[in-house]
A and B are shown apart, each in its own frame.
Chain A
Amino acid sequence: MKKYILDLQVVEVSRPHERYVLLKLTDPNGPLPEMMPGQFAQLRVDGSATTFLRRPISIHYMDSTLNQIWFLVQIVGDGTRQLATLQPGDTLNVVLPLGNGFTMPHSVDDRILLVGGGVGCAPLLYMGKAMAEMGCRPTFLIGARTQKDLLQLDLFAQYGDVYVTTEDGSYGEKGFVTQHSLLTGSTKFTRISTCGPKPMMMAVARYAASTATPCEVSLENKMACGVGACLCCVEDTQHGHQCVCTDGPVFPIEELKW
Protein backbone atom coordinates (compact mmCIF):
# COMPACT_ATOMS: atom_id res chain seq x y z
CA MET A 1 0.00 0.00 0.00
CA LYS A 2 1.34 3.38 -0.93
CA LYS A 3 2.35 5.52 2.04
CA TYR A 4 1.90 9.26 2.29
CA ILE A 5 3.24 12.20 4.24
CA LEU A 6 0.26 14.50 4.73
CA ASP A 7 -0.48 17.79 6.42
CA LEU A 8 -3.89 17.08 7.89
CA GLN A 9 -6.14 19.77 9.27
CA VAL A 10 -7.76 19.43 12.66
CA VAL A 11 -11.54 19.66 12.34
CA GLU A 12 -12.64 18.85 15.85
CA VAL A 13 -11.01 18.12 19.20
CA SER A 14 -12.86 16.62 22.12
CA ARG A 15 -11.90 15.27 25.53
CA PRO A 16 -14.17 12.30 26.23
CA HIS A 17 -12.24 11.91 29.48
CA GLU A 18 -9.42 13.91 31.09
CA ARG A 19 -6.83 11.31 30.02
CA TYR A 20 -8.00 10.99 26.41
CA VAL A 21 -8.29 13.26 23.43
CA LEU A 22 -10.25 12.52 20.28
CA LEU A 23 -8.87 14.22 17.19
CA LYS A 24 -10.89 14.45 14.00
CA LEU A 25 -8.91 15.53 10.97
CA THR A 26 -9.33 16.03 7.28
CA ASP A 27 -7.05 16.36 4.30
CA PRO A 28 -7.77 19.81 2.87
CA ASN A 29 -5.93 18.93 -0.34
CA GLY A 30 -7.91 15.92 -1.48
CA PRO A 31 -9.36 12.59 -0.56
CA LEU A 32 -7.61 10.67 2.20
CA PRO A 33 -5.81 7.56 0.98
CA GLU A 34 -7.22 4.10 1.51
CA MET A 35 -6.36 2.57 4.87
CA MET A 36 -7.03 -0.75 6.51
CA PRO A 37 -8.32 -1.35 10.02
CA GLY A 38 -5.43 -2.02 12.40
CA GLN A 39 -3.02 0.15 10.47
CA PHE A 40 -1.49 3.18 12.14
CA ALA A 41 -0.03 6.60 11.45
CA GLN A 42 3.15 8.31 12.67
CA LEU A 43 2.17 11.70 14.06
CA ARG A 44 4.68 14.51 14.18
CA VAL A 45 4.55 16.32 17.51
CA ASP A 46 5.31 20.01 17.10
CA GLY A 47 5.97 22.30 20.02
CA SER A 48 7.16 19.81 22.64
CA ALA A 49 10.83 20.33 23.48
CA THR A 50 11.15 16.82 24.91
CA THR A 51 9.44 14.96 22.07
CA PHE A 52 11.86 14.18 19.28
CA LEU A 53 10.39 11.24 17.37
CA ARG A 54 6.98 10.83 15.79
CA ARG A 55 4.31 9.03 17.81
CA PRO A 56 2.60 5.92 16.41
CA ILE A 57 -1.19 6.13 16.78
CA SER A 58 -3.77 3.70 15.40
CA ILE A 59 -6.38 4.69 12.90
CA HIS A 60 -9.41 4.94 15.16
CA TYR A 61 -11.93 5.67 12.46
CA MET A 62 -11.91 6.73 8.89
CA ASP A 63 -14.78 7.98 6.79
CA SER A 64 -14.18 8.61 3.13
CA THR A 65 -17.52 10.39 2.63
CA LEU A 66 -16.67 12.93 5.32
CA ASN A 67 -13.00 12.72 4.26
CA GLN A 68 -12.14 12.39 7.94
CA ILE A 69 -9.67 10.36 9.93
CA TRP A 70 -9.90 10.09 13.72
CA PHE A 71 -7.27 9.37 16.34
CA LEU A 72 -8.09 8.46 19.92
CA VAL A 73 -5.10 9.32 22.06
CA GLN A 74 -4.43 8.51 25.67
CA ILE A 75 -2.33 11.14 27.38
CA VAL A 76 0.63 9.32 28.93
CA GLY A 77 3.62 11.63 28.42
CA ASP A 78 4.82 14.84 26.84
CA GLY A 79 4.16 13.84 23.25
CA THR A 80 0.56 12.85 23.74
CA ARG A 81 0.02 15.82 26.09
CA GLN A 82 1.16 18.10 23.28
CA LEU A 83 -1.14 16.37 20.78
CA ALA A 84 -4.00 17.10 23.16
CA THR A 85 -3.36 20.85 22.81
CA LEU A 86 -4.22 20.83 19.09
CA GLN A 87 -7.06 23.15 18.13
CA PRO A 88 -9.45 23.10 15.18
CA GLY A 89 -7.72 24.61 12.17
CA ASP A 90 -4.25 23.45 13.30
CA THR A 91 -2.13 21.28 11.04
CA LEU A 92 -0.91 17.83 12.01
CA ASN A 93 1.75 16.18 9.89
CA VAL A 94 1.26 12.42 9.57
CA VAL A 95 2.85 9.50 7.75
CA LEU A 96 0.30 6.85 6.83
CA PRO A 97 -1.01 4.22 6.40
CA LEU A 98 1.57 2.03 8.14
CA GLY A 99 1.65 -1.63 9.18
CA ASN A 100 -0.37 -4.64 8.16
CA GLY A 101 -3.79 -4.37 9.82
CA PHE A 102 -6.26 -6.92 11.15
CA THR A 103 -7.39 -9.98 9.22
CA MET A 104 -10.73 -9.28 7.60
CA PRO A 105 -13.44 -11.93 7.76
CA HIS A 106 -13.44 -14.42 4.89
CA SER A 107 -17.21 -14.68 4.75
CA VAL A 108 -20.19 -12.82 6.16
CA ASP A 109 -20.89 -15.80 8.41
CA ASP A 110 -17.57 -15.46 10.24
CA ARG A 111 -18.07 -14.65 13.89
CA ILE A 112 -15.36 -12.20 14.80
CA LEU A 113 -14.68 -11.22 18.39
CA LEU A 114 -12.90 -7.89 18.82
CA VAL A 115 -11.41 -7.50 22.28
CA GLY A 116 -10.16 -4.09 23.34
CA GLY A 117 -8.67 -2.83 26.57
CA GLY A 118 -8.34 0.86 27.40
CA VAL A 119 -7.13 2.93 24.47
CA GLY A 120 -6.49 -0.37 22.66
CA CYS A 121 -10.14 -0.11 21.63
CA ALA A 122 -9.15 2.65 19.22
CA PRO A 123 -8.47 0.57 16.08
CA LEU A 124 -11.45 -1.70 16.72
CA LEU A 125 -13.97 1.00 15.81
CA TYR A 126 -12.64 1.28 12.27
CA MET A 127 -12.48 -2.52 12.13
CA GLY A 128 -16.15 -2.64 13.13
CA LYS A 129 -17.06 -0.15 10.45
CA ALA A 130 -15.15 -2.01 7.74
CA MET A 131 -16.79 -5.28 8.77
CA ALA A 132 -20.24 -3.71 8.78
CA GLU A 133 -19.61 -2.50 5.23
CA MET A 134 -18.93 -6.12 4.25
CA GLY A 135 -22.19 -7.20 5.85
CA CYS A 136 -20.59 -8.71 8.97
CA ARG A 137 -21.56 -8.00 12.52
CA PRO A 138 -18.66 -8.29 14.95
CA THR A 139 -18.91 -8.83 18.68
CA PHE A 140 -17.03 -6.29 20.78
CA LEU A 141 -15.71 -7.16 24.21
CA ILE A 142 -14.35 -4.06 25.86
CA GLY A 143 -12.48 -3.80 29.13
CA ALA A 144 -11.72 -0.70 31.14
CA ARG A 145 -10.77 0.24 34.65
CA THR A 146 -13.97 2.14 35.43
CA GLN A 147 -17.09 3.32 33.63
CA LYS A 148 -15.35 6.66 33.02
CA ASP A 149 -12.67 4.93 30.95
CA LEU A 150 -15.17 3.46 28.51
CA LEU A 151 -15.05 5.48 25.34
CA GLN A 152 -17.21 5.62 22.24
CA LEU A 153 -19.47 2.75 23.34
CA ASP A 154 -22.42 4.14 21.39
CA LEU A 155 -20.32 4.16 18.24
CA PHE A 156 -19.22 0.56 18.70
CA ALA A 157 -22.87 -0.40 19.18
CA GLN A 158 -23.66 0.81 15.64
CA TYR A 159 -21.60 -2.00 14.20
CA GLY A 160 -22.02 -4.94 16.54
CA ASP A 161 -22.96 -6.31 19.93
CA VAL A 162 -21.00 -4.75 22.75
CA TYR A 163 -20.03 -6.53 25.97
CA VAL A 164 -18.19 -4.73 28.72
CA THR A 165 -16.14 -5.44 31.81
CA THR A 166 -14.84 -2.90 34.28
CA GLU A 167 -12.31 -3.66 36.97
CA ASP A 168 -14.43 -1.93 39.63
CA GLY A 169 -17.75 -3.21 38.34
CA SER A 170 -19.07 0.30 37.68
CA TYR A 171 -20.35 -0.81 34.26
CA GLY A 172 -20.91 -4.20 32.64
CA GLU A 173 -19.49 -7.23 34.35
CA LYS A 174 -16.88 -6.80 37.06
CA GLY A 175 -13.38 -8.09 36.33
CA PHE A 176 -11.11 -8.50 33.33
CA VAL A 177 -12.26 -9.15 29.76
CA THR A 178 -11.23 -12.77 29.94
CA GLN A 179 -13.57 -13.27 32.89
CA HIS A 180 -16.64 -12.14 30.93
CA SER A 181 -19.48 -14.67 30.76
CA LEU A 182 -19.53 -14.25 26.97
CA LEU A 183 -16.40 -16.37 26.82
CA THR A 184 -17.90 -19.25 28.78
CA GLY A 185 -21.08 -19.15 26.72
CA SER A 186 -21.95 -21.27 23.73
CA THR A 187 -20.74 -18.90 21.02
CA LYS A 188 -17.80 -20.26 19.08
CA PHE A 189 -15.83 -17.50 17.39
CA THR A 190 -14.10 -17.82 14.05
CA ARG A 191 -11.35 -15.44 15.09
CA ILE A 192 -10.38 -13.11 17.91
CA SER A 193 -8.57 -9.85 17.19
CA THR A 194 -7.35 -7.95 20.21
CA CYS A 195 -5.61 -4.74 21.10
CA GLY A 196 -4.82 -3.38 24.54
CA PRO A 197 -2.39 -3.69 27.42
CA LYS A 198 0.02 -6.60 27.03
CA PRO A 199 -1.19 -8.55 30.11
CA MET A 200 -4.74 -8.37 28.75
CA MET A 201 -3.72 -9.52 25.29
CA MET A 202 -1.71 -12.36 26.81
CA ALA A 203 -4.77 -13.47 28.77
CA VAL A 204 -6.89 -13.29 25.63
CA ALA A 205 -4.24 -15.27 23.76
CA ARG A 206 -4.33 -17.98 26.47
CA TYR A 207 -8.10 -18.14 26.25
CA ALA A 208 -7.93 -18.39 22.46
CA ALA A 209 -5.33 -21.14 22.62
CA SER A 210 -7.39 -23.08 25.17
CA THR A 211 -10.43 -22.98 22.88
CA ALA A 212 -8.44 -23.46 19.67
CA THR A 213 -9.72 -20.16 18.32
CA PRO A 214 -7.47 -18.35 15.85
CA CYS A 215 -6.29 -15.14 17.49
CA GLU A 216 -4.27 -12.12 16.52
CA VAL A 217 -2.93 -9.32 18.69
CA SER A 218 -1.83 -5.78 17.94
CA LEU A 219 1.53 -4.89 19.51
CA GLU A 220 2.75 -1.46 20.62
CA ASN A 221 6.54 -1.71 20.60
CA LYS A 222 8.42 1.57 20.66
CA MET A 223 9.18 2.87 17.22
CA ALA A 224 11.52 5.29 15.55
CA CYS A 225 10.99 5.18 11.77
CA GLY A 226 7.68 3.32 11.46
CA VAL A 227 8.58 2.08 7.98
CA GLY A 228 10.85 -0.91 8.56
CA ALA A 229 14.14 0.90 8.18
CA CYS A 230 15.66 1.21 11.65
CA LEU A 231 14.89 -2.20 13.22
CA CYS A 232 14.18 -0.57 16.60
CA CYS A 233 10.65 -1.93 17.05
CA VAL A 234 11.39 -5.64 16.78
CA GLU A 235 9.45 -8.41 18.50
CA ASP A 236 11.21 -11.72 19.09
CA THR A 237 8.98 -14.13 17.18
CA GLN A 238 9.09 -17.77 16.07
CA HIS A 239 10.71 -16.42 12.89
CA GLY A 240 13.31 -14.32 14.70
CA HIS A 241 13.16 -10.56 15.16
CA GLN A 242 10.30 -9.07 13.19
CA CYS A 243 9.43 -5.40 12.81
CA VAL A 244 6.22 -4.46 14.54
CA CYS A 245 5.88 -1.47 12.21
CA THR A 246 5.89 -3.47 8.97
CA ASP A 247 5.44 -7.18 9.76
CA GLY A 248 2.86 -6.07 12.38
CA PRO A 249 1.51 -4.41 14.41
CA VAL A 250 -0.93 -7.33 14.13
CA PHE A 251 0.55 -10.81 14.70
CA PRO A 252 -1.14 -14.21 14.93
CA ILE A 253 -0.47 -15.48 18.45
CA GLU A 254 1.26 -18.63 17.22
CA GLU A 255 4.04 -16.46 15.79
CA LEU A 256 4.79 -14.89 19.15
CA LYS A 257 6.89 -16.36 21.95
CA TRP A 258 4.29 -15.52 24.60
Chain B
Amino acid sequence: MVNPVMTASGTFGYGVEFQDFVDLSQVGGIIVKGTTLNPRQGNPYPRMAETAQGMLNCVGLQNKGVDHFCEHIYPTIKDLPTQVLVNVSGSSPDDYAECARRIAGLENIPAIELNISCPNVRQGGMAFGVTPEGAASVVKAVREVYPKTLIVKLSPNVTSIVDIAKAVEAEGADAVSLINTLMGMAIDAEKRKKLLSIGTGGLSGPCVKPVALRMVYQVAQAVQIPVIGLGGISCATDAIEFLLAGASAIEIGTANFLDPAISQKVAVGINEYLERHGIADVKDIIGALED
Protein backbone atom coordinates (compact mmCIF):
# COMPACT_ATOMS: atom_id res chain seq x y z
CA MET B 1 0.00 0.00 0.00
CA VAL B 2 1.33 3.44 -0.92
CA ASN B 3 -0.24 4.89 2.22
CA PRO B 4 -2.55 3.83 5.06
CA VAL B 5 -5.67 5.38 3.54
CA MET B 6 -8.42 3.13 2.20
CA THR B 7 -12.03 3.72 1.27
CA ALA B 8 -14.75 1.92 3.21
CA SER B 9 -17.08 -0.68 1.78
CA GLY B 10 -20.44 0.59 0.55
CA THR B 11 -19.28 4.18 0.31
CA PHE B 12 -16.96 4.12 -2.69
CA GLY B 13 -18.79 1.80 -5.08
CA TYR B 14 -16.26 -0.15 -7.11
CA GLY B 15 -13.84 2.76 -7.19
CA VAL B 16 -14.55 3.59 -10.82
CA GLU B 17 -17.38 5.91 -9.71
CA PHE B 18 -14.73 8.17 -8.15
CA GLN B 19 -12.08 8.15 -10.85
CA ASP B 20 -13.00 11.65 -12.02
CA PHE B 21 -12.28 12.95 -8.52
CA VAL B 22 -9.47 10.86 -7.11
CA ASP B 23 -6.17 9.63 -8.51
CA LEU B 24 -6.58 6.10 -7.20
CA SER B 25 -2.82 5.52 -7.30
CA GLN B 26 -2.63 8.01 -4.45
CA VAL B 27 -4.84 6.03 -2.07
CA GLY B 28 -3.67 2.89 -0.33
CA GLY B 29 -6.62 0.74 -1.20
CA ILE B 30 -10.31 0.54 -1.89
CA ILE B 31 -12.73 -1.89 -0.34
CA VAL B 32 -15.55 -2.54 -2.75
CA LYS B 33 -19.21 -3.07 -2.02
CA GLY B 34 -20.44 -5.82 0.25
CA THR B 35 -20.61 -9.03 -1.80
CA THR B 36 -22.71 -12.09 -0.97
CA LEU B 37 -22.87 -15.61 -2.37
CA ASN B 38 -26.29 -15.03 -3.94
CA PRO B 39 -27.66 -11.84 -5.48
CA ARG B 40 -29.48 -9.58 -3.05
CA GLN B 41 -32.09 -6.96 -3.86
CA GLY B 42 -31.48 -5.04 -0.67
CA ASN B 43 -34.16 -3.26 1.32
CA PRO B 44 -36.92 -1.10 -0.14
CA TYR B 45 -36.59 2.68 -0.53
CA PRO B 46 -36.24 4.86 1.59
CA ARG B 47 -32.85 3.61 2.65
CA MET B 48 -31.29 6.76 4.00
CA ALA B 49 -32.04 9.37 6.64
CA GLU B 50 -29.88 12.34 7.45
CA THR B 51 -29.03 12.91 11.11
CA ALA B 52 -27.00 15.46 13.03
CA GLN B 53 -23.47 15.14 11.63
CA GLY B 54 -24.22 11.81 10.09
CA MET B 55 -26.64 9.55 8.31
CA LEU B 56 -28.50 6.31 8.74
CA ASN B 57 -28.67 3.72 5.99
CA CYS B 58 -30.47 0.45 5.51
CA VAL B 59 -29.26 -0.42 2.01
CA GLY B 60 -29.32 -4.09 3.01
CA LEU B 61 -26.36 -5.38 1.02
CA GLN B 62 -27.79 -4.92 -2.44
CA ASN B 63 -25.40 -6.67 -4.83
CA LYS B 64 -25.51 -9.03 -7.78
CA GLY B 65 -23.74 -11.89 -6.04
CA VAL B 66 -20.19 -13.19 -6.09
CA ASP B 67 -20.34 -14.88 -9.51
CA HIS B 68 -21.49 -11.68 -11.16
CA PHE B 69 -18.69 -9.91 -9.35
CA CYS B 70 -16.06 -12.38 -10.56
CA GLU B 71 -17.28 -12.46 -14.16
CA HIS B 72 -18.39 -8.92 -14.83
CA ILE B 73 -17.02 -6.51 -12.25
CA TYR B 74 -13.61 -7.94 -11.43
CA PRO B 75 -12.34 -7.59 -15.03
CA THR B 76 -13.21 -3.88 -14.98
CA ILE B 77 -11.45 -3.14 -11.69
CA LYS B 78 -8.59 -5.60 -11.51
CA ASP B 79 -6.14 -3.17 -13.04
CA LEU B 80 -7.07 -0.11 -11.02
CA PRO B 81 -3.86 1.50 -9.80
CA THR B 82 -4.49 0.67 -6.15
CA GLN B 83 -5.14 -2.35 -3.94
CA VAL B 84 -8.66 -3.62 -4.46
CA LEU B 85 -10.19 -5.53 -1.54
CA VAL B 86 -13.61 -7.16 -1.44
CA ASN B 87 -16.01 -6.92 1.47
CA VAL B 88 -17.80 -10.23 2.01
CA SER B 89 -21.10 -10.86 3.76
CA GLY B 90 -23.26 -13.89 4.31
CA SER B 91 -26.02 -15.47 6.29
CA SER B 92 -24.21 -18.65 7.38
CA PRO B 93 -20.55 -19.63 7.87
CA ASP B 94 -20.85 -21.79 4.73
CA ASP B 95 -22.07 -18.80 2.71
CA TYR B 96 -19.14 -16.70 3.82
CA ALA B 97 -16.69 -19.49 3.11
CA GLU B 98 -18.04 -20.24 -0.36
CA CYS B 99 -18.05 -16.56 -1.27
CA ALA B 100 -14.50 -16.16 0.02
CA ARG B 101 -13.35 -19.28 -1.84
CA ARG B 102 -14.59 -17.90 -5.15
CA ILE B 103 -12.85 -14.58 -4.55
CA ALA B 104 -9.63 -16.32 -3.49
CA GLY B 105 -9.16 -17.33 -7.12
CA LEU B 106 -8.99 -13.72 -8.29
CA GLU B 107 -5.34 -12.86 -8.70
CA ASN B 108 -5.56 -9.12 -8.14
CA ILE B 109 -7.62 -9.21 -4.97
CA PRO B 110 -4.98 -9.49 -2.22
CA ALA B 111 -7.38 -9.53 0.71
CA ILE B 112 -10.99 -9.71 1.79
CA GLU B 113 -12.78 -7.94 4.58
CA LEU B 114 -15.43 -10.06 6.28
CA ASN B 115 -18.45 -8.06 7.25
CA ILE B 116 -19.65 -9.99 10.27
CA SER B 117 -21.33 -6.88 11.48
CA CYS B 118 -23.69 -5.41 8.94
CA PRO B 119 -26.72 -4.51 11.03
CA ASN B 120 -29.12 -4.41 8.13
CA VAL B 121 -29.75 -8.02 7.35
CA ARG B 122 -32.52 -9.21 9.57
CA GLN B 123 -31.19 -12.68 10.19
CA GLY B 124 -27.65 -12.41 8.96
CA GLY B 125 -24.59 -10.39 9.86
CA MET B 126 -25.85 -9.26 13.22
CA ALA B 127 -26.06 -12.72 14.72
CA PHE B 128 -22.40 -13.50 14.00
CA GLY B 129 -20.85 -10.22 14.91
CA VAL B 130 -22.40 -9.83 18.35
CA THR B 131 -20.99 -12.88 20.09
CA PRO B 132 -17.38 -14.08 20.23
CA GLU B 133 -18.56 -17.61 19.34
CA GLY B 134 -20.55 -16.46 16.32
CA ALA B 135 -17.70 -14.30 15.04
CA ALA B 136 -15.23 -17.13 15.56
CA SER B 137 -17.41 -19.62 13.66
CA VAL B 138 -17.41 -17.45 10.55
CA VAL B 139 -13.70 -16.73 10.67
CA LYS B 140 -12.92 -20.41 11.20
CA ALA B 141 -14.97 -21.45 8.15
CA VAL B 142 -13.42 -18.79 5.94
CA ARG B 143 -9.88 -19.34 7.18
CA GLU B 144 -10.03 -22.96 5.99
CA VAL B 145 -10.64 -21.94 2.38
CA TYR B 146 -9.08 -18.50 2.13
CA PRO B 147 -5.28 -18.40 2.22
CA LYS B 148 -4.75 -14.70 1.49
CA THR B 149 -5.03 -11.76 3.87
CA LEU B 150 -8.19 -11.99 5.93
CA ILE B 151 -9.52 -8.85 7.57
CA VAL B 152 -12.51 -9.12 9.88
CA LYS B 153 -14.73 -6.07 10.22
CA LEU B 154 -16.26 -5.71 13.66
CA SER B 155 -19.63 -4.43 14.76
CA PRO B 156 -19.82 -1.73 17.42
CA ASN B 157 -23.26 -2.97 18.46
CA VAL B 158 -21.85 -5.27 21.14
CA THR B 159 -21.14 -5.26 24.84
CA SER B 160 -17.42 -5.95 24.47
CA ILE B 161 -15.79 -5.40 21.09
CA VAL B 162 -12.48 -6.43 22.63
CA ASP B 163 -13.74 -9.95 23.29
CA ILE B 164 -14.90 -10.30 19.70
CA ALA B 165 -11.57 -9.01 18.41
CA LYS B 166 -9.70 -11.54 20.51
CA ALA B 167 -11.96 -14.34 19.30
CA VAL B 168 -11.36 -13.62 15.63
CA GLU B 169 -7.64 -13.20 16.22
CA ALA B 170 -7.58 -16.64 17.81
CA GLU B 171 -9.19 -18.13 14.70
CA GLY B 172 -6.46 -16.75 12.49
CA ALA B 173 -7.71 -13.37 11.24
CA ASP B 174 -4.82 -11.35 9.83
CA ALA B 175 -6.30 -8.00 10.83
CA VAL B 176 -9.46 -6.45 12.20
CA SER B 177 -11.23 -3.34 10.96
CA LEU B 178 -13.64 -1.30 13.03
CA ILE B 179 -16.19 0.11 13.29
CA ASN B 180 -19.11 -0.78 11.12
CA THR B 181 -22.23 1.34 11.54
CA LEU B 182 -24.03 1.80 14.86
CA MET B 183 -27.66 0.70 14.94
CA GLY B 184 -30.01 3.65 14.97
CA MET B 185 -33.44 4.90 14.03
CA ALA B 186 -35.06 8.06 12.68
CA ILE B 187 -38.64 9.26 12.94
CA ASP B 188 -40.57 12.02 11.17
CA ALA B 189 -42.46 13.69 14.01
CA GLU B 190 -44.87 15.60 11.75
CA LYS B 191 -45.88 12.55 9.76
CA ARG B 192 -45.49 10.17 12.73
CA LYS B 193 -43.60 7.81 10.48
CA LYS B 194 -40.38 5.89 10.43
CA LEU B 195 -37.96 7.47 7.99
CA LEU B 196 -36.31 4.21 6.92
CA SER B 197 -38.19 1.45 5.13
CA ILE B 198 -37.25 -1.21 7.67
CA GLY B 199 -37.36 1.14 10.64
CA THR B 200 -33.76 0.89 11.73
CA GLY B 201 -30.46 1.53 10.01
CA GLY B 202 -26.74 1.96 10.53
CA LEU B 203 -25.39 5.29 11.70
CA SER B 204 -22.20 6.65 10.15
CA GLY B 205 -20.37 9.92 9.73
CA PRO B 206 -18.62 12.35 12.10
CA CYS B 207 -21.15 11.70 14.89
CA VAL B 208 -19.79 8.17 15.42
CA LYS B 209 -16.12 9.16 15.53
CA PRO B 210 -15.62 9.35 19.32
CA VAL B 211 -17.16 5.90 19.74
CA ALA B 212 -15.04 4.49 16.93
CA LEU B 213 -11.87 6.04 18.27
CA ARG B 214 -12.48 4.59 21.74
CA MET B 215 -13.10 1.12 20.31
CA VAL B 216 -10.03 1.22 18.06
CA TYR B 217 -7.93 2.25 21.04
CA GLN B 218 -9.26 -0.57 23.21
CA VAL B 219 -8.91 -3.23 20.54
CA ALA B 220 -5.40 -2.12 19.56
CA GLN B 221 -4.36 -2.59 23.20
CA ALA B 222 -5.82 -6.10 23.29
CA VAL B 223 -4.72 -7.81 20.06
CA GLN B 224 -1.41 -8.43 18.28
CA ILE B 225 -2.75 -8.27 14.73
CA PRO B 226 -3.05 -4.93 12.90
CA VAL B 227 -6.13 -2.83 13.50
CA ILE B 228 -7.74 -0.79 10.74
CA GLY B 229 -9.66 2.19 12.09
CA LEU B 230 -12.75 3.82 10.67
CA GLY B 231 -15.88 5.62 11.67
CA GLY B 232 -16.48 9.27 10.95
CA ILE B 233 -13.08 10.11 9.51
CA SER B 234 -13.51 13.31 7.46
CA CYS B 235 -10.08 14.91 7.38
CA ALA B 236 -6.40 14.13 7.86
CA THR B 237 -6.51 15.13 11.53
CA ASP B 238 -9.25 12.58 12.18
CA ALA B 239 -7.12 9.96 10.44
CA ILE B 240 -4.06 10.83 12.53
CA GLU B 241 -6.15 10.47 15.69
CA PHE B 242 -7.01 6.89 14.70
CA LEU B 243 -3.37 6.11 13.92
CA LEU B 244 -2.34 7.50 17.29
CA ALA B 245 -5.03 5.38 18.94
CA GLY B 246 -3.32 2.32 17.50
CA ALA B 247 -4.71 1.82 13.99
CA SER B 248 -2.18 0.73 11.35
CA ALA B 249 -4.41 1.99 8.54
CA ILE B 250 -7.70 3.81 8.22
CA GLU B 251 -10.80 3.72 6.03
CA ILE B 252 -12.93 6.62 4.87
CA GLY B 253 -16.64 6.05 4.44
CA THR B 254 -19.44 8.60 4.56
CA ALA B 255 -17.02 11.49 4.04
CA ASN B 256 -16.70 10.37 0.39
CA PHE B 257 -20.28 11.56 -0.12
CA LEU B 258 -19.54 15.07 1.11
CA ASP B 259 -16.27 15.46 -0.75
CA PRO B 260 -15.66 12.79 -3.39
CA ALA B 261 -11.96 13.74 -3.42
CA ILE B 262 -11.49 13.39 0.34
CA SER B 263 -9.54 10.11 0.36
CA GLN B 264 -6.69 11.58 -1.62
CA LYS B 265 -6.75 14.76 0.44
CA VAL B 266 -6.48 12.76 3.66
CA ALA B 267 -3.48 10.88 2.27
CA VAL B 268 -1.79 14.18 1.44
CA GLY B 269 -2.74 15.65 4.81
CA ILE B 270 -1.18 12.73 6.69
CA ASN B 271 2.11 13.34 4.90
CA GLU B 272 1.96 17.02 5.74
CA TYR B 273 1.46 16.14 9.39
CA LEU B 274 4.44 13.79 9.34
CA GLU B 275 6.62 16.45 7.74
CA ARG B 276 5.46 19.11 10.16
CA HIS B 277 6.38 16.87 13.09
CA GLY B 278 9.62 15.62 11.55
CA ILE B 279 8.44 12.02 11.50
CA ALA B 280 10.02 9.87 8.80
CA ASP B 281 7.59 6.96 8.65
CA VAL B 282 3.89 6.84 9.32
CA LYS B 283 4.51 3.64 11.30
CA ASP B 284 6.13 5.78 13.94
CA ILE B 285 2.86 7.39 14.92
CA ILE B 286 0.84 4.18 15.20
CA GLY B 287 -0.22 3.93 18.82
CA ALA B 288 2.24 6.69 19.66
CA LEU B 289 0.11 8.48 22.23
CA GLU B 290 2.03 10.28 24.92
CA ASP B 291 1.07 10.10 28.55
Chain B, residue nearest A234 (CB): B45
Residues of B within 8 A of A231 (CB): 10, 33, 42, 47, 59, 62
Chain A, residue nearest B13 (CB): A229
Known contacts A225-B257, A227-B18, A229-B13: does B50 contact A234 (CB below 8 Å)? no
Residues of B within 8 A of A4 (CB): 20
Q: Among the interface residues A54, A225, A229, A234, which one has the most CB atoms of the partner chain B within 10 A?
A: A229
Q: Does B11 reach chain A (CB closer than 8 Å)?
A: yes
Q: B20, A228: Cβ atoms under 8 Å?
A: no
Task: Give complex CA distance A232, B197 in Å.
Answer: 11
Residues of B within 8 A of A50 (CB): 52
Task: Give complex CA distance A238, B65 in Å.
Answer: 19
Residues of A within 8 A of B54 (CB): 52
Interface of A (DSSP majority class): loop
Q: A227, B258: Cβ atoms under 8 Å?
A: no
Task: Give complex CA distance A224, B17 in Å.
Answer: 14
Known contacts A5-B21, A234-B62: does B50 contact A95 (CB below 8 Å)? no
Task: Give complex CA distance A251, B52 in Å.
Answer: 32
Out of B11, B13, B20, name the residue touching A2 (CB < 8 Å). Answer: B20
Task: Give complex CA distance A41, B18 in Å.
Answer: 15
In chain B, positions 23-47 with a C-beta closer than 8 Å to chain A are 33, 41-42, 44-47
Number of interface residues of A (CB under 8 A): 31
Chain B, residue nearest A235 (CB): B45
Q: Does A53 reach chain B (CB closer than 8 Å)?
A: yes
Task: Give complex CA distance A230, B17 in Å.
Answer: 10
**Nearest-Cβ distance from residue B259 to partner chain A, whole angstroms:** 7
Known contacts A53-B257, A225-B257: does B57 contact A230 (CB below 8 Å)? yes
Q: B48, A222: Cβ atoms under 8 Å?
A: yes
Out of A54, A224, A246, name the residue touching B57 (CB < 8 Å). Answer: A224
Q: Does A67 reach chain B (CB closer than 8 Å)?
A: no
Residues of A within 8 A of B260 (CB): 5, 95, 225, 227
Q: A230, B41: Cβ atoms under 8 Å?
A: no
Q: B55, A224: Cβ atoms under 8 Å?
A: yes
Residues of B within 8 A of A234 (CB): 42, 45, 47, 62
Known contacts A54-B257, A224-B57, A236-B44: does B50 contact A3 (CB below 8 Å)? no
Out of B18, B48, B53, name the residue touching A232 (CB < 8 Å). Answer: B48
Interface 1/0s, chain A 98-142, versus B by CB < 8 A? 000000000000000000000000000000000000000000000
Out of B53, B257, B259, name the residue touching A224 (CB < 8 Å). Answer: B257
Interface 1/0s, chain A 196-232, versus B by CB < 8 A? 0000000000000000000000000111111111111
**Nearest-Cβ distance from residue B226 to partner chain A, whole angstroms:** 26
Task: Give complex CA distance A187, B93 in Å.
Answer: 62
Residues of A within 8 A of B225 (CB): none
Task: Give complex CA distance A7, B182 in Å.
Answer: 33
Residues of B within 8 A of A (CB): 10-13, 17-18, 20-21, 33, 41-42, 44-48, 50-55, 57, 59, 62, 205, 254, 256-261
Beyond the given A221-B45, A233-B48, please list 8 additional residue pairs across the A-B interface where CB-CB is below 8 A: A3-B21, A50-B52, A54-B257, A227-B13, A230-B11, A231-B33, A232-B47, A241-B62
